[in-house]
Structure formats: C-alpha cells, structure tokens
Amino acid sequence: MDHAQYELIIDPELAPCPVLPALVWAEGIASPTASQEHAGPIAEAVAQARDTGEAYVPPEVRSRVRNMLRHGRYKPTGRGKPASEFLLRAALGGEFPHVNAPVDVNNWVSLESGFPGSIFDVALSGRRLLLRRGRPGEAYVFNPSGQVLELEDLLLVCRKTEHGWEPCGSPIKDAMITKLSAHTRDVIAILYAPNDEPPESVERWASRFAERLGEQCSAQRTGYRVLDMDRNP
C-alpha cells in the first residue's frame, strides 16, 4: 500500500502538537451493516473492562488524554469528555455500543488503549485530512437527531472541500457528514494519542487497529502510519 495516498496534515498553529496521531485505513471492506450484540474478542474486551472496573484504563492515561484536549475555552469535562471515557463508562455499565463492524473496531481499540478515535467514509472525507483547532463559531451535527457539537478550541479533523477545510471529526464525536453507511467501501481513521506516549506504543495500537479492520471487516487492503514528528516532519 502506498502511504502517500493517505495523509494527515498538522496545522503549524498546533506547534507544539499535543497529539501523536496514528492514521489507519482499510479498503474494500464488506458492507457495514448494523451489528448485533457483540461476540468474540470484542465481547471479551468489554467483559474484561467490566470485571476490572475503571482501572482498566489507568487514571494517568485518562488524565493525559484530557490534557491533550485542554486548550483555551475548551475543557474536556461533562459532555466534552473524550470518547474513550464514554466508551469505558459504557463498558462498565453493560451498554457498550454496537454500530457496524468498522465503528465497532474503532471503539474496541479506543476502549483497550484509552485513546479516542475517529473513523470516516473515504468517499466522503477524502484521503487527505487536516488536524487543527476549532475556530470561533464552528460547529457540526453529530447525530441523526441534529444535536450540535461546538468546536471552538477543540482538537479536530477536517476534510478538504471546494470551500476549504471543513471540520468532520474530533476526539469527542464525529460529524454526520462523513459517517459510515451500508455503501461505505473504504475507511480512514485517526487514533489520538497524547504527544508523550512512546511512538512504539502508538505503532502497536495502529497496527492492531489495521489488523482488526482486516479481520472484522473483510478488508482487502489495510495500512497505517504514525505521525511521529521526529521521524515524519
């Protein structure tokens, strides 16, 4: 797989970048139909989290992830907590979400690693994404009921459109505009790790993410890239 086909641009205004992101993709996946109750390894991970309790994701990991998002007016608390914290809480409460195979893989990796993740339909997001902070007045709809996430100062991902870079995802919730459907055949995902996480650790999670997309989604091709700023300026 040619890594150059997939790109995550880091906005220079983020320097020093608070996140060590992994870019993960899968092509030729099976149609993402609605999943039923979890079984197999995902169910095992959820059960292990429930048996372990909140310590399943160490407090210092949760703290570092929150610090990664803390900036300006944005505070990672309440409804603004990282998605990984919501997933841990859902696992402990026996209500871990089941959506479709690619989203379930994203949530599975996020639960185990403690890092939030985003996943997009490549046909809607494109293969070239931008990581930046939200600007005053920016927002997007994140669910079918029309609920809106305010984006000012939030770390977010943008897709390129004819009008410029448009926000489509974040470590909190992703926008409806690039969400997966039964027509999705290629996906691109971001795993948001704090910038003090060892690159080798992020590499392992990214590799696991790509491998699981292959196994759980019958992907024809998968790949990943960790944007370590020391190695990938």
Query: DSSP string spanning 93-123?
Result: TT-----BHHHHHHHHHHHHH---EEEEEHH
CATH number of the domain that residue 188 is part of:
3.50.40.10
For residue 81 the two structure tokens come to 């907590």
The two structure tokens encoding residue 115: 């890092």
Does 102 reside within a domain? yes
Confirm whether 181 is domain-assigned.
yes
Establish if 231 belongs to a structural domain.
no
The range of the structural domain enclosing residue 160 comes to 3-226
10-residue block means of pLDDT along the chain (233 residues)?
79 94 98 88 96 97 97 92 97 94 98 98 98 97 96 97 96 98 98 97 98 97 84 41
Residue identified by tokens 């990581």 is: 131
pLDDT at 229: 56
Q: Is residue 152 part of a domain?
A: yes
Residue 233 inside a domain? The answer is no
pLDDT at 39: 78
Closest CA to 175 of 201, 200, 151, 203: 151
Residue 232 in domain: no
**Burial (CB count within 10 angstroms: exposed 0-12, middle 13-18, buried 19+), residue 136:** exposed
Rg, Å, the chain Cα set: 16
* pTM passes above 0.85: yes
| pLDDT score, position 58 | 97
Q: Flag whether 51 is in a domain.
A: yes
Would strands 139-141 and 164-169 be described as parallel, antiparallel, or unpaired? unpaired
Angle at 118 between CA 195 and CA 152, to 5 degrees: 75
Whether 113 is covered by a domain: the verdict is yes
> In the chain, how many domains are there?
1
Q: Which residues contact 72 (CB under 8 A, 6 or more apart)?
A: 133, 152, 153
With contact defined as beta carbons under 8 Å apart, do 129 and 190 qualify?
Answer: yes
Of 60, 67, 19, 22, give the one whose Cα is nearest residue 195: 19
- Specify which residues 130 forms β-bridges with: 9, 158
The DSSP symbol for 152 reads B
